A and B are shown apart, each in its own frame.
Chain A
Amino acid sequence: MATSKMGLKETYRAMIRGLEWTPTYQPPEAIYPYHTFEGIKIHNWDDWEDPFRITVESYWKYQAEKDRRFYAILDGFIQSQGHLNISDARYLNALKLFLQGVTPLEYMAHRGFSQIARFLPGAAPAFAALAQSMDELRHAQTQLHAISPYNRYYSGFHSMRRWHDRVWYLSVPKSFFDDAVSSGPFEFLTAISFGFEYLLTNLLFVPFMSGASFNGDLTTMTFGFSAQSDESRHMTLGLEAVKFMLEQDEDNVPIVQQWIDKWFWRAYRVTALVAAMMDYMLPRRFMSWKEAFELYFEEQMMNGLFPDLKYYGINPPRHVAQAIAEKDYLSHQVYWVLYSFTYAAMFHTWVPEPQELDWLSQKYPGTFDRYFRPLFERAREAQAQGHRHYFAGLPQLCQVCQIPMAFTYPGEPIRHQQRASVYQGETYWTCSEGCQWIFEREPEKYIQAWLPVHEIFKGNCGGASVPEVLAWYGDQGDSGDYLDSQDRKHWIAWHEQVNQLV
């Protein structure tokens, strides 16, 4: 059929493929100096396909529509006193973790992808990266806007940038992203677009979004959907990037395999915080960490993606069996760490209510009653007698993931792992075979880690005592147990006011 209107594919070819030109004032390697040193060989940049076929025009059109929808709902949320409709103020601690830990990563992703857009020579990947860079800035902004209404009523929301740079558990996501942006461009794409966005992003966003939906948090649910609609495009960029490298040259295969091995484990360790959030911080629960891991990782990636990548000679990530073995106890170990160190965290923890412990027993029949329920029941008793359990002292952190060394041998929920590596006469500790493998592959990188506990003892964090460190964090009653918190007092006060009006 003859038509004067160009179809999607022709429009994309005309509008994006034509964006590049051959430089004449400068040699190409002076303009694009970074895409060769990692050893990745590219023969034809035009082989890169963007299945979304997004152009500048369609990008603006759809992003503007997404923002219109989001801000209409945000206004409605504020106008209708949406903060009164959440399930319980304990829920907000999931949001605090998100704002403090994830939102600053969105901003870093914006910076990382604008770097990729500038320094990759192909027009198709450069434009896809530019679009993603703008998406990530939009995510940081919409997340700040969406969560800011709670800052008027609750603690833990007022200083996320400062905390992201200073507070111990936030060095986990921060150091993860810093590791990625300080890599070369192809490793960055494998780390963030593939390892994080394609393999694991569903485990981050879907639990937060469905959790928000189920717990009456309209504003978070809406930014989640709005961001996640971009995320599908980002996942595609990740998969395309990996397949492009694998198809361009066989020599790329072992390099990509090592990056997949490294970045799967790095990203998986960051999602440990999500595991704790999902099983413990949502007053209305809809799915356990274990169920989410089985659905979004084992089913989709192990049974779907990796058989596909086998064609190129790519194997599943080196340490994946350990991640799978941990699904039965990971969330409990991590929440127990958060519970034990909440005296210095910018959110609250608590002992789950008895019916919540029952839910965990039911979801984790092999492990919870045997290993973890007794811990929480003892903690409840101690708290009733006025001795809220806190761990006295500061923990050893893993040199790579920076999580306190609370992890155990695979399949053994209570036998702790502490792995030592010696580099240039110094001993460095890692939490697992995965983190140790990553450390020993590039020790010169990881010995530079800014480990919060070491920095406290070195005197770089306001002082060596807990009150001094809390003052340096800027704690305004943001830490401690939920039962003693301002949040709980405010929650009761707001709801009493409403009841009096009714």
Chain B
Amino acid sequence: MTQDSQRRLVGADLQESEEAEAIVAAISAKHPEAVVRRSPGLVRVEVPERLEVRRDLVERFLNRNWDTQDFNLSIVSFFGEIEDWDEDHIVIGWSH
């Protein structure tokens, strides 16, 4: 259970894969407070309040071009609300 009820978590569950590891690394680079949890076949990343996946960071970790819509191939589940999704980033947060 969340200890700190003032800071609501958002997060995403991804399939365990090379691409997902790069996405998780990009999220962790952007959010040093990110917590990564693993269960069989899955990698889950949780961030307080707002999670941003930035294309430039994913590309840095993948060492190749990455289309933000390719997130469709890795995502298993998420919690929060998708606030924005364009060429450069995906943002998951809570709006209220």
Q: Which residues of A contact B (CB under 8 A)?
A: 7-9, 51-53, 58, 62, 65-66, 69, 201-202, 205-206, 209-214, 221, 225, 228-229, 231-233, 235-236, 239, 286-287, 294, 298-301, 303-305, 307-312
Contact B73 A232 (CB under 8 A): no
A-contacting residues, B63-77, CB 8 Å: 68-69, 72-77
Beta-carbon contacts of B1-22 to A below 8 Å, as 1s and 0s? 1100100111101010000000
Known: A9-B86, A209-B41, A308-B81. A66 touches B8 (CB 8 A): no
Contact B96 A311 (CB under 8 A): yes
Residues on A with C-beta less than 8 A from B79 are 300-301, 304-305
Residues on B with C-beta less than 8 A from A211 are 40
> Complex formed: what's the CA distance from A239 to B80 in Å?
10
> Complex formed: what's the CA distance from A298 to B1 in Å?
7
The contact size tier of chain B is 20 to 34
> Complex formed: what's the CA distance from A38 to B2 in Å?
38
Q: Which 3 A-B pairs have the closest CB atoms?
A: A213-B41, A311-B96, A51-B82
Residues on B with C-beta less than 8 A from A213 are 40-42
> Complex formed: what's the CA distance from A205 to B39 in Å?
13
Known: A214-B40, A303-B9, A307-B8. A229 touches B76 (CB 8 A): yes
Smallest CB separation, B48 vs chain A (Å): 11
Contact A58 B69 (CB under 8 A): yes
16 contacts between A and B (CB under 8 A): A69-B73, A206-B42, A211-B40, A221-B41, A225-B15, A229-B15, A229-B74, A231-B77, A232-B76, A232-B77, A235-B77, A286-B40, A298-B1, A305-B94, A308-B96, A310-B96
Contact B41 A225 (CB under 8 A): yes
Contact B76 A53 (CB under 8 A): no
Which residue in chain B gives the minimum CB-CB distance to A8?
B86
Smallest CB separation, A282 vs chain B (Å): 10
Q: Which of B39, B69, B76 contacts A225 (CB 8 A)?
A: B76
A-contacting residues, B11-67, CB 8 Å: 11, 13, 15, 39-42
Which residue in chain A gives the minimum CB-CB distance to B77?
A202
Contact A232 B75 (CB under 8 A): yes
- 16 more CB-based (< 8 A) A-B contacts, given A51-B82, A229-B74, A286-B40: A51-B81, A51-B83, A58-B69, A69-B73, A209-B41, A212-B41, A213-B42, A236-B82, A294-B1, A300-B11, A300-B79, A301-B79, A304-B10, A307-B96, A309-B96, A311-B96
Highest count of chain A CB atoms <10 Å: which of B68, B74, B79, B96? B79
Contact A52 B76 (CB under 8 A): no
Residues on A with C-beta less than 8 A from B2 are 299, 303
Known: A51-B82, A52-B82. A210 touches B69 (CB 8 A): no
Contact A235 B78 (CB under 8 A): yes
Residues on B with C-beta less than 8 A from A311 are 95-96
> Complex formed: what's the CA distance from A19 to B46 in Å?
37
Which residue in chain A gives the minimum CB-CB distance to B83?
A51
Residues on B with C-beta less than 8 A from A286 are 39-40
Smallest CB separation, B27 vs chain A (Å): 16
> Complex formed: what's the CA distance from A79 to B69 in Å?
32
> Complex formed: what's the CA distance from A233 to B42 in Å?
18
> Complex formed: what's the CA distance from A236 to B68 in Å?
17
Contact A210 B5 (CB under 8 A): no
> Complex formed: what's the CA distance from A233 to B77 in Å?
9
Contact B81 A239 (CB under 8 A): yes
Residues on B with C-beta less than 8 A from A58 are 69
Contact B39 A287 (CB under 8 A): yes
Residues on B with C-beta less than 8 A from A210 are 39-42
